[in-house]
C-alpha cells in the first residue's frame, strides 16, 4: 500500500470525530477504558499533527486549509475549532488533576497473570508511558495555545474574547503537568551495573560475546569502548540518581535507560514541588527496552530545536529538560555502541535480543535497532545503515510483516496481545499481584524507524529497501484498521491479520491509533525532504548540460535573421531550460538530466531544420 500521509491523516481525523464527538459531547475512553495514558493518546491524535505539520495548523482559524476544515466539520465552522480544542484540553486536565496535583495512573493498561485482579493502589501507579505521553501532550497543547492566544487577543467577537481567561487557566495546569511529567522521567532513569558473574551480567555477556572470546578479554574491551560514557554518567548524571551506583567501576558491566516507573531508590528532587518529585518508587534498576524507547520519543519532542526557539519552558523546566537531554544522549550512544559491538557479527544481528533479565524477543531486537537508527538520524550518518536495514528486513520476515503467518505461529503474539513485560517491584504495592504490561506496537515501531531512516542521504538501493519495508508495514496496518461501527477508520482489528489468534475489535485502541498517527506525521516530514542526488546521476547530468550548452552557443552564432526571429526566441526558451537544469543539478539531478535531454532534442531539431533549408 502506498503511504499518502496527508490524505490518511485527514481520514484519521474524520474517523476520530465520528467515533468520539457525537451530539456536541466528547466521549473519552476506548478498548482499555479511560485512563491518563489512553485519553492523552486520544487527544494527541488531533493535537500532534496540528502542531507538527504547518498545513494542519488549527491555531489560526483564518488560515485553516479547506480539506482540513472539511475533515473537522463535526466541530462546526472553522472559527469554532480552536474553542472546541481548548475545551477538550480543559476536560482532560480536570479528569486527571486532583487538588492541583497531576495524576498519571495507568489503570486499564495494567494486567496481572492468572486472572488476578490488581488492587486499586496498583491501578493508580504511574509508569514511564504515563509521563512520556503527557509530556508530548503538554508540549503540543502549549504550542497550540500560544498561537491560538494571538488569534483570540486580536478578535472583537465576544465569544472569542471570552476564551482568553480560559486559555490562561489551561496553560497554568498544562505547565504544572509538564513539570510533573519531566520530573517522573528524570526519576525513572536508571543505570544498571551488574556483576559479570550475576544472572544479569551473564545475560549481557551472552549478547555481546559474538566472537567467542574469553570473558576477561571481553569485559576489558567493552570497558574501553564505554569509558567515555561511564565518565559522563559518573560526573554529569546526578539529579535523582541513587548514590550507591558506582558507574566508574570497570569490573562491573553497565547499561542505562528507563525502568517501567520511578526507581525504588531514586532521590527526591527538591527543586520541584509536586507529588512526583518525592513519591516512593517501586521499579527495579534494570532498564526496559520498551519504556526506554517511549521515554526517548517524549524527550525528543521536548528538546527539539523548534521547542527551544519557541521558548515554551520556564526556568525549572529548562533545568529538567537539560537533565533529560543528557540522559537521552547517553542512552542512545550506549545502545548504539552495544548493538554494533565487536569486529564480526553484531550483537544486534544475533536475533532475538536477550535482555539482562534473561527474556528474549524479536521485539527487543527491534527496539535496539530503533535506537541505533535514531542515533544515525541525529548524527546524519549512514555508517552501518545498510547492515541495520538488513536487520529490519529480517525482523519484518520473522514478525510476519512481509511473510505469511502460519498456523499457531508464535510471531502472532508480537501483534496481539503483544510482548509481555513483567513490572518487577509492582507486587510490593499493597501486596497485590505482579503487574504485566503488553506491548503490541511491533509494526508501528518498524514503520516509524524505517521512515526516519529514509531521510538519510544514503544510496538509492538502500532507500528503496527502506520504503519497501515501510509500505509493507503500512499494508499490514491497513488490514488491521476497523472497518465497521462508529470506530471505523481507527485501529486495531487484529483478527483480520491473525485470524483466531487475534481480536475482532469494535472499540478503538488508542494505543495503536496514536502510534499510527505518529507514523503518518513522520512520513509527511520524510516526504518533504529533497530526493536523493546520486553522484553518478549528477555526473551524467553535468555531461549532458555541457554538451547542450556548447551546442546552444553554436546555434546562437548561426542566427542571421535578427533578435526578433522565431529561431532566436526558440534559443531563448532552450536557454531558460538549461538555466533551470543547472539550478536543479545538486538537489534534483534526475530533473536536470531530463531538462538537458529535452534541450538537446530541441537543439537537434534546429540543426536539422537548418541543414534541410540549406539542401
Of 467, 434, 433, 462, the residue nearest 450 (C-alpha): 467
User: pLDDT tens-digit profile of 561-594?
Assistant: 766 778 888 888 999 999 998 888 888 888 989 9
Verify that 548 and 519 share a domain, yes or no.
Answer: no
What one-character-per-residue DSSP string does 36-92 give? HHHHHHHHHHHHHHHHH-GGG--S-GGG--HHHHHHTGGG-SHHHHHHHHHHHHHHH
Torsion angle defined by CA atoms of residues 102, 96, 328 and 330, in that order, rounded to the nearest 10 degrees? 60
Q: How confident is the model at residue 244 (pLDDT cuts 50, 70, 90)?
A: low
Of 254 and 170, the structure prediction assigns the larger pLDDT to: 170
Q: How confident is the model at residue 516 (pLDDT cuts 50, 70, 90)?
A: very high
In a domain, 533, yes or no: no
Q: Which three cell numbers stand for residue 349?
A: 544481528
SS3 track for 430-444: CCCCCEEEEECCHHH
Is the pLDDT reported for residue 598 higher than 60?
yes
Q: How confident is the model at residue 249 (pLDDT cuts 50, 70, 90)?
A: confident
Q: Which residues contact 196 (CB under 8 A, 6 or more apart)?
A: 202, 205, 215, 219, 251, 252, 253
Q: To which H or E segment does residue 216 belong?
A: helix 215-225
Highest mean pLDDT among 291-295, 402-406, 496-500: 291-295
Cis peptide before 533, with omega less than 30 degrees from 0?
A: no
In a domain, 585, yes or no: yes
In a domain, 465, yes or no: yes
SS3 track for 571-608: HHHHHHHHHHHHHHCCCCHHHHHHHHHHHHHHHHHHHH
Q: How confident is the model at residue 536 (pLDDT cuts 50, 70, 90)?
A: confident
Verify that 591 and 468 share a domain, yes or no.
Answer: no
d(CA 579, CA 548): 11
- Distances, alpha carbon 592 to alpha carbons 461, 588, 600, in Å: 21, 6, 12
Verify that 517 and 584 share a domain, yes or no.
Answer: no
Of 415 and 559, the structure prediction assigns the larger pLDDT to: 415
Residue 562: the pLDDT is: 67
User: pLDDT tens-digit profile of 354-406?
Assistant: 999 999 999 999 999 999 999 999 988 888 999 999 999 999 999 999 988 88
Verify that 360 and 222 share a domain, yes or no.
Answer: yes
Residue 238: the pLDDT is: 72
Residue 242: the pLDDT is: 63
201, 195 Cβ separation under 8 angstroms: yes
Of 351, 354, 355, 361, the residue nearest 392 (C-alpha): 351
Residue 234: the pLDDT is: 81
Q: For 510, left (φ over 0), alpha (ψ -120 to 50), or beta?
A: alpha
Q: Which pTM value belongs to this model?
A: 0.90
In a domain, 395, yes or no: yes
Is the pLDDT reported for residue 12 higher than 60?
yes
In a domain, 221, yes or no: yes
Of 350 and 614, the structure prediction assigns the larger pLDDT to: 350
Q: How confident is the model at residue 233 (pLDDT cuts 50, 70, 90)?
A: confident
Residue 408 DSSP label: T
Is the pLDDT reported for residue 215 higher than 60?
yes
Verify that 610 and 502 share a domain, yes or no.
Answer: no
Angle between helices 5-20 and 510-527 (to 10 degrees): 150
Residue 400: the pLDDT is: 94
Q: Which three cell numbers stand for residue 210?
A: 559474538
In a domain, 107, yes or no: yes
Verify that 508 and 562 share a domain, yes or no.
Answer: no
d(CA 182, CA 314): 13
Q: How confident is the model at residue 198 (pLDDT cuts 50, 70, 90)?
A: very high
The mean of the pLDDT values for the chain is 91
Cis peptide before 417, with omega less than 30 degrees from 0?
A: yes
Verify that 444 and 586 share a domain, yes or no.
Answer: no
What one-character-per-residue DSSP string does 251-317 give? TS--EEEE-SBSBTTPPP-TT--SHHHHPPP-B-SSPPHHHHHHHHHHHHHHHSHHHHHHT---HHH
Q: Which residues contact 354 (CB under 8 A, 6 or more apart)?
A: 203, 206, 207, 360, 364
- Sequence-ordered alpha helix ranges (H) in 353-439: 362-379, 385-398
Number of domains the chain contains = 2
User: pLDDT tens-digit profile of 60-79?
Assistant: 998 999 999 999 999 999 98
Verify that 74 and 220 share a domain, yes or no.
Answer: yes
The parent domain of residue 477 ranges over 5-527
In a domain, 18, yes or no: yes
Mean pLDDT to the nearest integer, 523-527? 95
Q: For 416, left (φ over 0), alpha (ψ -120 to 50), or beta?
A: beta
Is the pLDDT reported for residue 291 higher than 80?
yes
95, 420 Cβ separation under 8 angstroms: no
Residue 155 DSSP label: -
User: pLDDT tens-digit profile of 449-492?
Assistant: 999 999 998 888 899 999 999 999 999 999 999 999 999 999 99
Residue 115: the pLDDT is: 80
Mean pLDDT to the nearest integer, 510-522? 97
134, 78 Cβ separation under 8 angstroms: no
Q: How many CB atoms lie within 10 A of CB 6?
A: 18
Residue 340: φ, ψ to 5°:
-110, 20
Residue 129: the pLDDT is: 96
Verify that 331 and 404 share a domain, yes or no.
Answer: yes
Residue 245: the pLDDT is: 63
Share of the chain above pLDDT 90, in %: 65
Verify that 237 and 386 share a domain, yes or no.
Answer: yes
In a domain, 91, yes or no: yes
Residue 287: the pLDDT is: 96
Residue 154: the pLDDT is: 67
Domain edge (last residue) among 499, 527, 555: 527
Is the pLDDT reported for residue 610 higher than 90?
no
Domain edge (last residue) among 527, 553, 582: 527
3-state SS assignment for residue 613: helix
Q: How confident is the model at residue 151 (pLDDT cuts 50, 70, 90)?
A: confident
Verify that 19 and 106 share a domain, yes or no.
Answer: yes
Is the pLDDT reported for residue 347 higher than 90?
yes
Is the pLDDT reported for residue 615 higher than 90?
no
Residue 286: the pLDDT is: 93
Q: To which H or E segment does residue 26 belong?
A: strand 25-26
Verify that 237 and 352 share a domain, yes or no.
Answer: yes
Q: How confident is the model at residue 248 (pLDDT cuts 50, 70, 90)?
A: confident
Domain edge (last residue) among 527, 554, 577: 527
d(CA 514, CA 45): 6
Amino acid at each position: 500500500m502506498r503511504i499518502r500521509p496527508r490524505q490518511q491523516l485527514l481520514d484519521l481525523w474524520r474517523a476520530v470525530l465520528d467515533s468520539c464527538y457525537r451530539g456536541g459531547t466528547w466521549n473519552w475512553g476506548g478498548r482499555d477504558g479511560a485512563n491518563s495514558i489512553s485519553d492523552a493518546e486520544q487527544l494527541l491524535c488531533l493535537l500532534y499533527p496540528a502542531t507538527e505539520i504547518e498545513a494542519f495548523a488549527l491555531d489560526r482559524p483564518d488560515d485553516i486549509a479547506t480539506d482540513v476544515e472539511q475533515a473537522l466539520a463535526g466541530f462546526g465552522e472553522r472559527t469554532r475549532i480552536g474553542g472546541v480544542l481548548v475545551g477538550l484540553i480543559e476536560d482532560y486536565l480536570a479528569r486527571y488533576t486532583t487538588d492541583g496535583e497531576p495524576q498519571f495512573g495507568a489503570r486499564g493498561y495494567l494486567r496481572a497473570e492468572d486472572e488476578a485482579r490488581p488492587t486499586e493502589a496498583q491501578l493508580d501507579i504511574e509508569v514511564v508511558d504515563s509521563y512520556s505521553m503527557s509530556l508530548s501532550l503538554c508540549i503540543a497543547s502549549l504550542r497550540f495555545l500560544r498561537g491560538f492566544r494571538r488569534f483570540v487577543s486580536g478578535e472583537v467577537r465576544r465569544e472569542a474574547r471570552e476564551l482568553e481567561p480560559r486559555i490562561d487557566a489551561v496553560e497554568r495546569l498544562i505547565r504544572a503537568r509538564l513539570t510533573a511529567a519531566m520530573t517522573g522521567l528524570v526519576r525513572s532513569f536508571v543505570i544498571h551495573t551488574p556483576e559479570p558473574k550475576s544472572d544479569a551480567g551473564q545475560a549481557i555477556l551472552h549478547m555481546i560475546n559474538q566472537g567467542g572470546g574469553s570473558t576477561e578479554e571481553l569485559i576489558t574491551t567493552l570497558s574501553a569502548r564505554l569509558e567515555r560514557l561511564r565518565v559522563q554518567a559518573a560526573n554529569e548524571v546526578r539529579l535523582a540518581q541513587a548514590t550507591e551506583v558506582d558507574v566508574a567501576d570497570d569490573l562491573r558491566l553497565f547499561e542505562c535507560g528507563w525502568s517501567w516507573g520511578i526507581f525504588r531508590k531514586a532521590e527526591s528532587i527538591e527543586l520541584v514541588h509536586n507529588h512526583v518529585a518525592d513519591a516512593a518508587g517501586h521499579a527495579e534498576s534494570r532498564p526496559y527496552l520498551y519504556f526506554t524507547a517511549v521515554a526517548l520519543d517524549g524527550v525528543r519532542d521536548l528538546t527539539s530545536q523548534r521547542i527551544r526557539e519557541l521558548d515554551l519552558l520556564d526556568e525549572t523546566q529548562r533545568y529538567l529538560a537539560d537533565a533529560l537531554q543528557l540522559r537521552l544522549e547517553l542512552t542512545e550512544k550506549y545502545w548504539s555502541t552495544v548493538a554494533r559491538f565487536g569486529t564480526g557479527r553484531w550483537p544486534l544481528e544475533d536475533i532475538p535480543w536477550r535482555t539482562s533479565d534473561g527474556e528474549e524477543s524479536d521485539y527487543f531486537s527491534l527496539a535496539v535497532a530503533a535506537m541505533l537508527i535514531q542515533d544515525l538520524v541525529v548524527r546524519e550518518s549512514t555508517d552501518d545503515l545498510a547492515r541495520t536495514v538488513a536487520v529490519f528486513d529480517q525482523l519484518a520476515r520473522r514478525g510476519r510483516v512481509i511473510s505469511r503467518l502460519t498456523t499457531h505461529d508464535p510471531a502472532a503474539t508480537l501483534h496481539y496481545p503483544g510482548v509481555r513485560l513483567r513490572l518487577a517491584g509492582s507486587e510490593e504495592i499493597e501486596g497485590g499481584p505482579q503487574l504485566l504490561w503488553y506491548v503490541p506496537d511491533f509494526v508501528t515501531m518498524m514503520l516509524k524507524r524505517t521512515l526516519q531512516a529514509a531521510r538519510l542521504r544514503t544510496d538509492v538501493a538502500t532507500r528503496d529497501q527502506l520504503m519497501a519495508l515501510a509500505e509493507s508495514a503500512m499494508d499490514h496496518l491497513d488490514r488491521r484498521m476497523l472497518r465497521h461501527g462508529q470506530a471505523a477508520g481507527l485501529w486495531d482489528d487484529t483478527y483480520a491479520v491473525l485470524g483466531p489468534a487475534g481480536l475482532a475489535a469494535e472499540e478503538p485502541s488508542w494505543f495503536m491509533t496514536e502510534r499510527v498517527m505518529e507514523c503518518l506525521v513522520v512520513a509527511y516530514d520524510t516526504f518533504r525532504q529533497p530526493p536523493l542526488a546520486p553522484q553518478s546521476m549528477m555526473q551524467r547530468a553535468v555531461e549532458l548540460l555541457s554538451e547542450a550548452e556548447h551546442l546552444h552557443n553554436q546555434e546562437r552564432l548561426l542566427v542571421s535573421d535578427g533578435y526578433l526571429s522565431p529561431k532566436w526566441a526558440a534559443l531563448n526558451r532552450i536557454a531558460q531550460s538549461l538555466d533551470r537544469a543547472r539550478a536543479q543539478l545538486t538537489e534534483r539531478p534526475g530533473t536536470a538530466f531530463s531538462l538537458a535531454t529535452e534541450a538537446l532534442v530541441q537543439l537537434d531539431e534546429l540543426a536539422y531544420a537548418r541543414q534541410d533549408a540549406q539542401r
